Amino acid sequence: MIFLTALPLFWIMISASRGGHWGAWMPSSISAFEGTCVSIPCRFDFPDELRPAVVHGVWYFNSPYPKNYPPVVFKSRTQVVHESFQGRSRLLGDLGLRNCTLLLSNVSPELGGKYYFRGDLGGYNQYTFSEHSVLDIINTPNIVVPPEVVAGTEVEVSCMVPDNCPELRPELSWLGHEGLGEPAVLGRLREDEGTWVQVSLLHFVPTREANGHRLGCQASFPNTTLQFEGYASLDVKYPPVIVEMNSSVEAIEGSHVSLLCGADSNPPPLLTWMRDGTVLREAVAESLLLELEEVTPAEDGVYACLAENAYGQDNRTVGLSVMYAPWKPTVNATVVAVEGETVSILCSTQSNPDPILTIFKEKQILATVIYESELQLELPAVSPEDDGEYWCVAENQYGQRATAFNLSVEFAPVLLLESHCAAARDTVQCLCVVKSNPEPSVAFELPSRNVTVNDSEREFVYSERSGLVLTSILTLRAQAQAPPRVICTARNLYGAKSLELPFQGAHRLMWAKIGPVGAVVAFAILIAIVCYITQTRRKKNVTESPSFSAGDNPPVLFSSDFRISGAPEKYESERRLGSERRLLGLRGEPPELDLSYSHSDLGKRPTKDSYTLTEELAEYAEIRVK
C-alpha cells in the first residue's frame, strides 16, 4: 500500500518562502485520462519590495523562453492562446494571491508534455521559472503488484488512477478477481507533490494455480462513456512439484531405456537424476530425460529425480528392473565325503526373475525349487552309489545355464562278483574286480605255492581303472592239472577285503587233459547217447498214443515267454567280463606267470592221465549204445 501525507510538503515550502526570492512550486509530473480534465497545482513567489499593482502570468508549453515562441497555454493579459488550447485552458488560481493553478479540459495525447509558468509583474519585472510540470496522458489504470508473490503468502495488489480533475471523479472496479478475494476501496488520496489519486486494494492468498492469472482494474466516470481498463499477470512463485515420471520400468538386458522426469514450478527447477547418491544428469528445465543404453543387471535398482528451486524441492523415485537369464550357477566346490557322512550341497545363481533351480544326477531329479536363487541338497548318509557327476541347472524365460560338479565318496574296497579265474588251453587268467575310493592296492595270493603277486609287479599283473572300478588281471601258465587256488586282496586306507576267486570254465581244463583224441571219442559217445534217447522216446510214444498223427502240431514254448530270475545280473556280469576280455585283446595279453610242475614233481601227478580217462568214456558209450 502507498502511504500518502495529509499535508503535502509542497504547501510547507510555499509558506516558508514568503517574502523571499523568485520561485515557483508545482508537481514535477501529473497524469490524466484522455478525454478528462486535469488541474495542475501551482504556487509562485517574488520579492516583497516589488509590490506590483497587478500580477499577470503566462503558461507556456514545452519551452520557458518567449524568444523561442513556444505555444501559449494561458495568458492573463490578452487571453490569446495557441489554437491547441483554445477552449481547453483556464486559470483556477488567483495570481494576486500567488496561486497559478491551471485547469486543462478535454485533454488529448498531443497535450502531453512540459508546462512552464512565467510571472509578469509589469515592466522589466518578468520572470520565467525553471520549475515545470510534465503532463502524461494515459489510457489505462496503474496496477501495482508486489515484486514477489509467493504461493501461500498473503499479498496486496493495488489499482491507482489519477484524480486531478475537479469536474470528473473516477470509480474503480476489479476484473477477474473471482476466487482471489474481495476488493477494498480506500478512496481519494493526496500525493506528496499535491496531486490526487484514487486507490483500490485487493488482498488474497495466491496458489500455484494463480500463476499467470490476468487480473484487471477498470476506471469509469459517471455520466460519461469514458472507461479505462488495465491488466496485470500474476507471477506467483512456488516450489517444484514433480508432475511427470515413469512408473516402474522393466527392461530386457541389452535394451534401451528412457526415464523421464517433469516438474511444475516457478521459477523453473533444477532437475537432477540420481542413483545411490551419484548424480547421473542435471539441468535447469521443466523436464529431464535420462537415457540408458544397453542396460545391464548392474543398472538394476532405484533411480531418484530431485527438483528444487529457491522456494522448495520435491523428489520421486522409479524402479528399473533389468530382466536377464540366469548366471552360471555356483556350487560350494567339489565335495569329498566318506561313506556314511552327511553331505550338504548348495547351488546358487542370480537372475531376474528368479529361476527354477534343479539338481540332476544321471538325468534323475534330486531336488528343485521354483523362483529361488539358492537350492540346497542334503544327502544324509552318502554311499558309493552317490559318487559321480551332478548338474545344477538354472532357467527362466530368458535362458538356461548349468554347472557340473562332482561328489567323491570314499569307502573301503568291495570285491565284485565278476572276480574269478578262467582256464584257457595252457593258461589260467584271474580277474580281481574291485570297487573302491580311493584306488586300492591289489594282491594275488597262491597258498599252494606260498606266492603273493602285487599289482605293482607290472610284468605279471595288468590293472585298468574305470571310474571307481579297478580290474586287475593275473595270467598263470600251467600244464593240465587241478585249478589253482587264488586269493585276491584289495586294500585302501578305509579297510581291506579278500576273496578266493572261483574257477570258471572247468570243462576247458578237462578238454585240456584228455587232448584231441579224447575229444573225438567223447564227441562220438555223445552222439550215440543222443541217438539212443531219441529212438527210445519214439517207441514209447507209439505205444502210448496209437491215435497220434504225424500232422499234429505239438505245443511250442517261445523263448520270448520265458524269463530266468537273476538273468539281468548274470548278463551284466558277462557284459563286464566281455569288456574286460576285449580290453585284454586291445592291450595285449599280460606276461604269464609260469607255475607248471618241474620234472621232480612228476610223481605227484594224478594216477589217471588223459588217455585212461578217454578209454573209460569210450567203454561207457559202447555199453549205452548196446
Q: What is the pLDDT of residues 153-177, one digit of tens each?
A: 999 999 999 999 998 999 999 999 8
Domain boundary among 319, 348, 369: 319
The band of 522, judged by pLDDT with boundaries at 50, 70 and 90, is low
Query: Closest by alpha carbon to 93, among 61, 148, 55?
Result: 55
More confident of the two residues 346 and 539: 346
| Confidence at residue 500, expressed as pLDDT on a 0 to 100 scale | 92
Q: How many domains does the chain have?
A: 5
Does pLDDT of 115 surpass 60?
A: yes
| Cross-strand partners of 104 | 38, 89
Instruction: Give the predicted TM-score (pTM) of the model.
Output: 0.59
Give tens-digit pLDDT for 354-395. Answer: 999 999 998 899 999 999 999 999 999 999 989 889 999 999
The band of 576, judged by pLDDT with boundaries at 50, 70 and 90, is very low
Average pLDDT over residues 472-497: 84
| Confidence at residue 20, expressed as pLDDT on a 0 to 100 scale | 60
Domain shared by 27 and 133, yes or no: yes
| Confidence at residue 251, expressed as pLDDT on a 0 to 100 scale | 94
- Whether residue 428 lies inside any domain: the answer is yes
Query: Closest by alpha carbon to 84, among 102, 99, 72?
Result: 72
| Confidence at residue 538, expressed as pLDDT on a 0 to 100 scale | 64
Does pLDDT of 427 surpass 60?
A: yes
Average pLDDT over residues 217-228: 93
More confident of the two residues 549 and 314: 314
- Whether residue 591 lies inside any domain: the answer is no
Domain shared by 51 and 86, yes or no: yes
Give tens-digit pLDDT for 272-289. Answer: 999 999 999 999 999 999
Domain shared by 220 and 154, yes or no: yes
| Confidence at residue 540, expressed as pLDDT on a 0 to 100 scale | 55
What percent of the chain has a predicted confidence (pLDDT) above 90? 58
Does pLDDT of 601 surpass 50?
A: no
The helices-and-strands tally (H runs, E runs) of the chain is 4, 44
Angle between helix 506-544 and 610-625 (nearest 10):
0
Domain shared by 217 and 263, yes or no: no
Domain shared by 404 and 487, yes or no: no
Residue 87 CA from chain centroid, whole number: 85
Helix, strand, coil percentages, rounded to 5, for the chain = 20, 45, 35
| Confidence at residue 177, expressed as pLDDT on a 0 to 100 scale | 86
Average pLDDT over residues 486-501: 93
- Whether residue 155 lies inside any domain: the answer is yes
Longest dimension (CA), the chain: 201
**Mean of the per-residue pLDDT values for the chain?**
81
- Whether residue 324 lies inside any domain: the answer is no
Domain shared by 361 and 466, yes or no: no
Domain shared by 298 and 388, yes or no: no
Average pLDDT over residues 540-561: 37
Give tens-digit pLDDT for 246-265. Answer: 888 999 999 999 999 999 99
- Which segments of 270-350 does DSSP mark as H helices, in order? none
- Whether residue 345 lies inside any domain: the answer is yes
More confident of the two residues 375 and 128: 375
| Confidence at residue 543, expressed as pLDDT on a 0 to 100 scale | 45
| Confidence at residue 180, expressed as pLDDT on a 0 to 100 scale | 80
Burial-class residue 430 by CB neighbours within 10 Å (0-12, 13-18, 19+).
Answer: buried
Neighbours of 115 (CB within 10 A): 23
Domain shared by 41 and 129, yes or no: yes
Average pLDDT over residues 29-56: 91
Does pLDDT of 464 surpass 60?
A: yes
| Confidence at residue 546, expressed as pLDDT on a 0 to 100 scale | 41
Q: Compute the distance between CA of residue 615 and CA of residue 551 in angstroms, rounded to an integer.
A: 44
The band of 348, judged by pLDDT with boundaries at 50, 70 and 90, is very high
Domain boundary among 284, 319, 354: 319
Domain boundary among 319, 354, 383: 319
Range with lowest mean pLDDT among 292-306, 374-388, 496-510, 578-592? 578-592
The band of 520, judged by pLDDT with boundaries at 50, 70 and 90, is low
- Whether residue 296 lies inside any domain: the answer is yes
Query: Closest by alpha carbon to 26, among 108, 155, 116, 157?
Result: 116
CATH number at residue 159: 2.60.40.10
The band of 621, judged by pLDDT with boundaries at 50, 70 and 90, is very low
Please state the length of the chain: 626
Domain shared by 424 and 392, yes or no: no
- Whether residue 538 lies inside any domain: the answer is no
Whether the Cβ atoms of residue 35 and residue 104 lie closer than 8 Å to each other: no
Give tens-digit pLDDT for 534-546. Answer: 777 665 554 444 4
Please tell me whether the peptide bond between 267 and the residue prior to it is cis, using omega within 30 degrees of 0.
Answer: yes
Domain shared by 244 and 314, yes or no: yes
Average pLDDT over residues 48-60: 88
| Confidence at residue 247, expressed as pLDDT on a 0 to 100 scale | 86
Domain shared by 29 and 131, yes or no: yes
- Whether residue 569 lies inside any domain: the answer is no
Residues contacting residue 109 through CB under 8 Å, at least 6 positions apart: 34, 137
**Containing structural domain, residue 42:** 23-137
Domain shared by 345 and 311, yes or no: no
| Confidence at residue 596, expressed as pLDDT on a 0 to 100 scale | 42
Whether the Cβ atoms of residue 297 and residue 327 lie closer than 8 Å to each other: no
The band of 27, judged by pLDDT with boundaries at 50, 70 and 90, is very high
Alpha carbon of 49 to those of 21, 39, 46, 383, 427: distances in Å? 10, 31, 9, 140, 171
Range with lowest mean pLDDT among 190-199, 226-235, 540-549? 540-549
Three-state SS string over 408-473 comes to EEEEEEEECCCCEEEECCCEEEEEEEEEEECCCEEEEEECCCCEEEECCCCCCEEEEEECCEEEEE
